[in-house]
Amino acid sequence: MSAPLLQVSGLKVAYGHIEAVKGIDLELHEGQITTLVGANGAGKSTTLLAISGLIKKASGRVLFDGKDLSKMPPHKIVSSGVVQVAEGRAILTTLTVKENLELGAYCRHDRDNQARDLDYVYSLFPVLKDRANGLAGNLSGGEQQMLAIGRALMAKPRLLLLDEPSMGLAPIIVQGIFRTLRNINQAGLTIFLVEQNVRQALKIADRAYVIETGHIVLSGSGRELLVNPRVQEAYLGS
């Protein structure tokens, strides 16, 4: 297999004297969906924040396409192609849907193809086109999640990071969003999906890691982990 697009090695992150991530290794391969699943408090968000440069690492290294992200400020990490969908869909509620999407393109060097990318986002999420001139704050929870994903896509990522996009959404909405993530991936984008919704995440993932109290305890293909007895007992209620 070719070199990983993103390689995390020996990552440790602490909040004061509490170690939240205790030395983890992850590999994300180009063109794949990789998922990191685990319970509330396991260290998933902390891992994403460390990759995005939004939190200080105690130790470890993050290599993206051979470049060391550890030495870059967060905006450089975004412009190098690693874009995180804001947790809790932190969209700007007093701006319109279209204005939110345009803000996503802010860190880009090339703005030439922005109109085409906006069309692409509208094709993935037609409801955003219908509501383009409405206030983002008037969207439903599911639509706000679509907007948060659309805004991240406007930044032209090479790697899309998502922190629990299923949170607080009805199962049918989650299925629609995950189907769209699959489509985005099939169009060529590499995805790192962090989830507590273990079943849905494993279903769409090529490769998966399970994190428990800051340690990676299992890894394998999504399909392998779906039938793994330990995963089934701990996360799938069977």
Q: Give residues in contact with ligand ADP (CB under 6 A).
A: 15, 18, 20, 38, 40-46
Hunting for tokens 């982990």 — which residue is that? 225
208 binds, among Mg ion, ligand ADP, none (CB under 5 to 8 A by kind): none
Indicate the length of the chain as a whole number.
238
238 binds, among Mg ion, ligand ADP, none (CB under 5 to 8 A by kind): none
- Determine the angle formed by the axes of helices 114-124 and 171-186, rounding to 10 degrees: 140
Q: Which is nearer to Mg ion, 31 or 41 (CB)?
A: 41
Q: Specify which residues 24 forms β-bridges with.
A: 11
CB of 131 to Mg ion, least distance (A): 28
Q: Which is nearer to Mg ion, 88 or 137 (CB)?
A: 88
Q: Which is nearer to ligand ADP, 101 or 211 (CB)?
A: 211
CB of 28 to ligand ADP, least distance (A): 18
Residues 150-179 that bind Mg ion (CB under 5 A): none
Q: Are 177 and 146 in contact (CB under 8 A)?
A: yes
Which of 3, 65, 78, 34 lies closest to 220, judged by CA? 34
Q: Which is nearer to Mg ion, 89 or 131 (CB)?
A: 89
Q: Which residue is nearest to Mg ion (CB)?
A: 45
What tokens appear for 200 in the block? 């849905």
Please provide residue 104's backbone torsions phi and psi, each rounded to the nearest 5 degrees. Answer: -60, -25
CB of 76 to ligand ADP, least distance (A): 23
Give the Cα separation of 204 and 64 in Å (integer): 23
**Binding-site residue total for Mg ion (CB under 5 A)?**
2
Residues 18-57 that bind Mg ion (CB under 5 A): 44-45
CB of 70 to ligand ADP, least distance (A): 19
DSSP string of 55-87, one letter each residue: S--SEEEEEETTEEGGGS-HHHHHHTTEEEEPG
Which of 182, 192, 201 lies closest to 83, judged by CA? 192
Q: Which is nearer to ligand ADP, 40 or 238 (CB)?
A: 40
CB of 55 to Mg ion, least distance (A): 12
Side-chain half-sphere of 172: how many Cα atoms within 13 Å? Answer: 0
Binding site for Mg ion (CB under 5 A): 44-45
